[in-house]
Structure 1
Amino acid sequence: MTFIKNHKKIVSTILVLVVALAVVLGFTLKKGEAVAKFNGESITKDELYSEMVKQYGSATVDKMIADKIVTAEAAKKKIAVSDNEVNKQINALKESYGGEDVFNQMIASNGTTLTQVKEDLKNYLTIKKLLEPQIKITDEEMKTYFEENKDSFAEPEQVKASHILVADEQTANEIKQKLTDGADFADLAKQYSTDEGTKNDGGELGYFGKGDMVAEFENVAFSLDVNQISDPVKTDYGYHIIKVEDKKAAKEAYFEDSKATIKDTLLDQKLDSEYTTWLENKKKGYKIENNLAKA
């Protein structure tokens, strides 16, 4: 998503800020009323708007004009982006951020909304459809990228495990005995585990590689066989009982397995440069005026 990040990173933030302030101030302040005071001197809403327009107005208008050009060109070529395509990208972003909760936190921390993200993604996918036919990516380029980034395509050894975390060794030993006697691991995790993030899922941690967990936990997890349950393991968090659900052996990187990912990455990189040139050329075919640029 290199292209979309670069395309929107400044102006999108400005738009959110301007719109948010306009809405809030529009409801709470009357015309000419102060938004702040310094040594008794008022700073009015109108002065604030003027300052924001002076600093960010021209760039914001340029971005709006660019979006209109993209929409017009897409209409000429009968290019459309469906909701399913946008939602597929949203799901990919959620996965890349480690889940929906982290994704939502990222949106909130950047002062934007899911609706705005979807609009940006729809614009990005439209641009991609417009420009992709004129972008060429050769096998030689892909092979060069693969060799330069080979380590990132290899898959390290991974373990899928669940755990039950408790505060003291006695409780851990009691739970271990219950498991030995045939109790269900997931049920005991829900009942006893102090890890609020995993207990309701039966203690499931998913897959993790070496370096993802604290050393004491990791050393035991990677030493267990599938379906084997550990004795209590002490870490700074308390006492863990670990059950290994599955294992994935390390997998060497192969070019053929990575081609699709590499092509998408190189396409995003080329969109960065091609879009600027394409946009300037398309502007010549429209009557455009940005009066703020003249100010």
Structure 2
Amino acid sequence: MELKFPKIKRSVIISFLILSITLAFAAGCSNGNSNQDVVASVNGEDITKNELYELMVKQNGQQALDALISQKVIELEAKKQKIVVSDEDIQKEMETYYETYGGEEAFAQTLEMSGYSLDDVKKELALNIKINKLLEPRVKITEDELKTYFEENKAQFAQQKQVKASHILVETEEKANDIKKKLAEGQDFAQLAKENSTDAQNKDKGGDLGFFGSGDMVKEFEEAAFALKVGEVSAPVKTEFGYHIIKVSEVKAAQDASYEQSKSQIRETLFGEKAQAEYSVLMQELQKEYKIENYLEKKAEK
């Protein structure tokens, strides 16, 4: 169940998709008799690991190899420039992912469904951090550019009113009224959420949904939450998901856009835009500097 409208960024670890599968089979197919390991069969006719690997190389091999070559070049150049990625660097980026995906648990669930591991994520992050550190001296952003971007996009930096709320979701109005009664008797909201809420994503956090603004939640839920004062608990609220008991714990008032408060975010945005173009230039320069032999490409030419 997802009360919030989907705003999740799906760019995490995408480059590992073809790469990791191809490498796994490449490793498996490089060990003698393992070329004939059976991965499937149809009416007793075997499909071997070698057949699967050859098909994957034919379809995606060059793309995967190009990614590996670029990765190796980045690693060597980062080592040459003595660029080090600390655990703190990686954890800082992990916190951003947790926030984007609605918490550490939700991020872990997304990883599990995608077939990736936390180690895959951290390896990809370490590589991205090295790329950024290589690009930082090459990407120049002026004060005029920052101010121009702010003026042209001022609306997106204004803070709308936000509330921080928790909820307990149940299937029936009768159950919701029963919980409302228990709360009136002094029972703990978070504990009741853990014991009763059908919202598996948030129940173990005491039903905490964090801060949200207008348009982030389904209409009935949002209207009820924004009508509450801090500390107030709602009557049962019906939505397409069931019946909610909502408690508001904090309110952030709307604020006009502030250049100084937005400056670091603007710098990050402009860096991302410029870095994409500069990355291509950097890789062209580095690929001339490092001796690269692509045997897969040579094989295809024969």
TM-score by length of 1: 0.81
Corresponding residue for 1:231?
Answer: 235
Corresponding residue for 1:71?
Answer: 75
Corresponding residue for 2:133?
Answer: 129
Corresponding residue for 1:96?
Answer: 100
Corresponding residue for 1:283?
Answer: 287
Contact 2:29 2:53 in 1 (8 A): no
CA apart distance, 1:82: 1.3
Cα root mean square deviation, aligned: 3.2
- Whole-angstrom distance in 2 between the partners of 1:151 and 1:262: 13
Query: How far does the alpha carbon of each residue in 1:54-111 deviate from its partner, in whole angstroms, 9 at most, with x for none?
Result: 3333333333332232222223322211122112212211211222233224334444
Corresponding residue to 1:219 among 223, 241, 251: 223
CA apart distance, 1:119: 1.6
Aligned residue for 2:123, secondary structure, equals helix
Corresponding residue to 2:208 among 204, 207, 220: 204
Aligned residue for 2:164, secondary structure, equals strand
Aligned residue for 1:231, secondary structure, equals coil
What is the identity, as a one-letter code, of the residue corresponding to 1:131? Answer: L
What is the identity, as a one-letter code, of the residue corresponding to 2:92? Answer: K
- Whole-angstrom distance in 2 between the partners of 1:239 and 1:31: 57
Contact 1:13 1:111 in 2 (8 A): no
| Mapped pair 1:140 → 2:138 | no
For 1:102-181, what aligned pairs fall within 5 Å after superposition? 102-181=106-185
Moved more, 104-113 or 261-270: 104-113
Moved more, 36-45 or 49-58: 36-45
- Whole-angstrom distance in 2 between the partners of 1:60 and 1:192: 47
Corresponding residue to 2:267 among 237, 240, 263: 263
- Whole-angstrom distance in 1 between the partners of 2:115 and 2:216: 30
Q: For the structure 1 residues 30 and 283, does the alpha-carbon distance in structure 2 shift closer, same or farther, using more than 3 Å as the test?
A: closer
Task: Show structure 1 runs of 5+ residues with no match.
Answer: none
Q: Percent identity?
A: 49
- Whole-angstrom distance in 2 between the partners of 1:24 and 1:70: 26
- Whole-angstrom distance in 1 between the partners of 2:175 and 2:41: 60
- Whole-angstrom distance in 2 between the partners of 1:173 and 1:156: 32
> Rg larger in 1 or in 2?
1
Moved more, 75-84 or 160-169: 160-169
Moved more, 277-286 or 252-261: 277-286
Q: For the structure 1 residues 140 and 55, does the alpha-carbon distance in structure 2 shift closer, same or farther, using more than 3 Å as the test?
A: same
- Whole-angstrom distance in 1 between the partners of 2:38 and 2:184: 71
Contact 1:226 1:244 in 2 (8 A): yes
Contact 1:16 1:111 in 2 (8 A): no
Q: For the structure 1 residues 153 and 284, does the alpha-carbon distance in structure 2 shift closer, same or farther, using more than 3 Å as the test?
A: same
Contact 2:183 2:189 in 1 (8 A): yes
Q: For the structure 1 residues 93 and 174, does the alpha-carbon distance in structure 2 shift closer, same or farther, using more than 3 Å as the test?
A: closer
Q: For the structure 1 residues 247 and 55, does the alpha-carbon distance in structure 2 shift closer, same or farther, using more than 3 Å as the test?
A: same
Aligned residue for 1:64, secondary structure, equals helix
* Count of residue pairs brought into register by the alignment: 288
- Whole-angstrom distance in 1 between the partners of 2:244 and 2:49: 57
Aligned residue for 2:293, secondary structure, equals coil
- Whole-angstrom distance in 2 between the partners of 1:85 and 1:292: 35
Moved more, 130-139 or 203-212: 203-212
CA apart distance, 1:236: 4.0
Query: How far does the alpha carbon of each residue in 1:164-202 deviate from its partner, in whole angstroms, 9 at most, with x for none?
Result: 344444454444444444444334444554444444443
Task: Show structure 2 runs of 5+ residues with no match.
Answer: 1-10
What is the identity, as a one-letter code, of the residue corresponding to 2:226? Answer: F
Aligned residue for 1:80, secondary structure, equals coil
Aligned residue for 1:213, secondary structure, equals coil
Moved more, 177-186 or 18-27: 18-27
Query: How far does the alpha carbon of each residue in 1:242-279 deviate from its partner, in whole angstroms, 9 at most, with x for none?
Result: 32211111222222211111111221222211122122
- Whole-angstrom distance in 2 between the partners of 1:177 and 1:48: 61
- Whole-angstrom distance in 2 between the partners of 1:186 and 1:35: 48
Aligned residue for 1:133, secondary structure, equals helix
